[in-house]
Structures are given as structure tokens and as C-alpha cells.
Structure 1
């Protein structure tokens, strides 16, 4: 079983961001008139260490795993759907497959903990165990298993960067994974289950109330630990694919590549990554605000302002992939618009 070794993380380049802001001030438009597109361009200047950043080449990695907590009846779908959806990814029929093709983004699917034999599929086989433990009654993972899952994500980020990726997206597939995500949100931020726990795959009111009790019970079970380390929180209350996503974010930031964060589960993984190493935070961009309860709280805890709010709650990395054209256009505007001097247009102070 591989283990995770953290890599040092350097911050984005402030000088390049400053130069990009100066360029924005010279472009033929009123200052600030392109709104958050201007901020995006300047952020990417810092990421790429150049005044005029180029549209990124995105890589999407979908981590798949099952969750023992589904035995508590917290999802509207059976856990067998996880393996079935992985097969759908391979066939190219899932939403993230369609978006990756449209954006010409590299797409990789990683089995980090699916409770099925998927060895015949052309995916990355990195199974740590067949599904996590039932976090209501036991640790989701042992410390060694959590470290192994972090290492799976670390290796995936390295593969993507070595293949030429300049922007990373982590997606997930795992029936029941909004429950550990909510538990992590509560443990890492102090949020209450009533705020953090949502309907996930669309559970009814009685199941929602039950799901909140499950999370409360998991927190009570774990709450006996004093001053737990972030890695302990992740092992006790997380999931295999969530830990892999956290490792993916940690290594992406260490590689100097920006991380476009998807929805609720992805943001819970980002919370865990930042708790492990706060230096990840400047490399995070929030793509969208999910309709899943708790996502807004998780974004607030990370200090992230999402680019769009489209009512999405699918996961898989879809919300992040939808934002790729927006990023590309922001950087193209920054690069190709004329300055006042180039266009012979009088500036504001002329």
C-alpha cells in the first residue's frame, strides 16, 4: 500500500498579478467594466507567472469509491450505481465525458475504492479497499488507508501535469458521498448538521432528517478525540475518493497548477486539503455554487466566490468543466484587447 508524502507548496507570483492588473488598467474599457473576468485574468497571471496568461489546458480526474455509510439508508440510490456509473464513464455516456470532449480536456477515471471488481475496465486501478467503513459506527478509513488514498490523488495530479495540464479539475463518483462531505464540513468548520446536510441524490424529508442524525452520530463518535489532526478527521469522517481528491489538490498546488473546484463533495475535499496545508488555498478557484445544502458554507469557509450559480448538483466535475469556456474567454480578452496607446484612444485622464 503506497503512502502519501507531502510536497512543498509555493504561492502564485505576486509580481505577475501586479503586472496583469496594470495591463487591465491600460485596456480600452472603463476600469473594472469586465467585472470578475478581469480578476480571473490576473489570478491566472499569478498562476502562470506571466503578465499575459494563455488559455489553460484542462485535465479532469474522476475518483470513484463506495461508502459504508450507505448501509444507513442515506441515499436515494443503491451503492451498486457507483460501479455502473464508472462503466458509463468508460462508455463515454456520462455528463463529464460529454463536457470533456467538448472542451478537449484530458479525462481520467480512477478506481480508488469501488466495491466491485472493475479490473476489466480501461481505467486507473488504484483501489485502496472496497468501500469505506460506515462512519456512523467506525472510522471510514484507517490512517494508513487514508494516506494511501491521498497518494492515489497525488499520483493522478502528477500524471495530469506531466501530460501537459495547466489547470486541474477533480470530479467524483460515489453513492452516499454527500454524507461524509457534510460530516467533514461540520468537523472542520463547526457547522451544524442542519446546515451541512442536504438531499444529495434527492432524498425525501424523512430520509433527510435521518441523514442529519447519521452525521450527528458520526460527529459524536469522533468527538471524543481531543484536538484531532486534519488527517485524523479525514480518515475518520471522509471517504476514499474524497481523500484522493484532497491529495490531488495538494499535489496540484505543489506543481504550481491552479485547481478549479467543482461542487459540494469537491469543496469538502478542498477544505480537507487546506486543513492539511493552508498553502493550497491561493491555488483554488470555485467554479459554481451547488444547490446542495452546505456548499455555500464550505465556500465561505474557504473564502471562495464561485464564478456562476446554475443550480447544478451532479458532481463528476461537471460544474467546473462548464466554467472552462468562461476562463478561456477571460484570458483571451486580457491578451488580445488593445491598450489605449495601441488603439489611439484617449484614456480617462487625457
Structure 2
């Protein structure tokens, strides 16, 4: 049997719909106010992540392996928000619920890629903290810019390949009945369940994807911090322990913001109303991108110092432009 095109083996003509209809949240009262709120969150996300990326680019002192990962996280947050929220507002706020078949698959690909890459980016930051605390004398040798670039590039390739596989498998399906997707975007699970022919490969991917993309990275992060905790327990000086924990505070906050809503949603899936689940998942998609840069700005001393230096330089340059003769 041809898994990628079973219609060829069953002598069934392939039927791809002209469009899908996004119907999630259609029954929620005052839902347009929620989407106005999402628009404001999106604007803040663009400004905050853009600011973090600009600071890291402009300050040479922040061009370290750790901030390579932070820059990538800001880029993923910015790209992911831009892939999801404008289209989400177009669908629900402006009422353009029909999405062409190929556009829906592209929408799915970019949303899943960015959501998955956030998870692996947290793994990269956890590995950086693990080496910095457990092997402080060898950190500069083991963790280089080149290594971090290579690690993040490998994560991008892995995520893109997995999401491309999931997206490609949808093209082998035939849709001869409903084209209504009860979600807030082109959700892989919602789409393949609409198919008339066998969707077993899609089901397998949907079973493998969450553990590989979410739960295995979370397990690595938790094991990393267990190892860090054991190492810090052997340190006699309390001040050294607190200093090490402060360097991990921002990353731990990002982990909680990203994984906690997912754990709640999937643990209580059967007890949550479908519309409530969709609202929760949509918030999970849009809140981390706006909170991540705020957390790193408030909890990371290097970024705060860098922003002060850049703002001070900008003010001095402005004064020099207005009063060229004064120093």
C-alpha cells in the first residue's frame, strides 16, 4: 500500500477542497473583544522582541553563545506571532473564515514550526546553563558561538523536517465531506480527521509529534536542572548558590510560561469545554512571545546594562547634534 497516496491503490480519485473553513470560537460571546486584546498583545510582542534583537545586535558584549540562543528565541517569537496573529485576526475579526487549501497548509507549517522551535530553543538555553554551572572551567571551550549556531541550526532542520512531513502527509488525503476546522488555525489533528480515506500515517505522526517536540525537551530541561541542583548542593558558599540560581531565573520563568499551559490543557483535556480549550491554546501561542523579552529584560542584568549604555549613547549623540560645539 502506498502510504503517501493510498487513493492510487484503492482506485479512489483524490479530492482536495478549494478551501477550509475555520470555525473555532464562533459560539463565544463578545469574542471580538478577545481578538482586539490579541492585537494589542501582538503589537507589544513585535516591539519587545524587536528591541531585544536590536540590543543584542548593537552591543558586542552580548555576542556570546547564550545570547545567540536568546536572539534566536526573540526571532522565533517575532516570526511565530507574525505568522499566527494577523491571519487569526483576518479570519475571526474581519470574518474571512475561508482559507484556500494550500494557504491553510502553509499556515499550519509556519505556526507549528515556530511553536516547536520555541521548545528546542529552551533546550539550547538549558544546555548553556548546564555547562556554565557544572563545568565552569571548561565552559569557554565547550560552549562557543560556533557550537551554539550549529546546535540551533540542527534544531531548525529537525523541526522543519518533522513539520514538513506532517504537512506533506495531509496532501495525500481526500476530503469529500466536511471542510470545517473547529480550531483557531489550520490544526493538523482537526484537518486529517476530516479525510474520507485512510489517515493512519497522519495519526502516527500526531502521536509521535507531541512527545518528540514537547515532552522530551521538557524532560531534558528538568534533568538539567536536577543536575544543576545537585551541583549547587555541594557548593558551600550560599552567595555562590544564589548567584548561580539568579543566572537561571530568567530561563526557568520562560520554561514555566511555555510548558505550564500545555501541561494543564493536555492533562485536563476531557474536562475543558472545546471553546475553552481553543481559547487556552490560542493564549499559549501568543503570550510567551510577549512575555519572554520582558522577562529577559527584567531578570538579566547584562541586557539592562546594555540598554542603559545604548540609551546613554543615543542621548549623547542627540545632544552633540543639537550643540555641536559642546562636549
TM-score range, shorter chain: under 0.3
Larger fraction in helix = 2
Name the larger-Rg structure: 2
* TM-score, structure 1 normalization: 0.26
Larger fraction in strand = 1
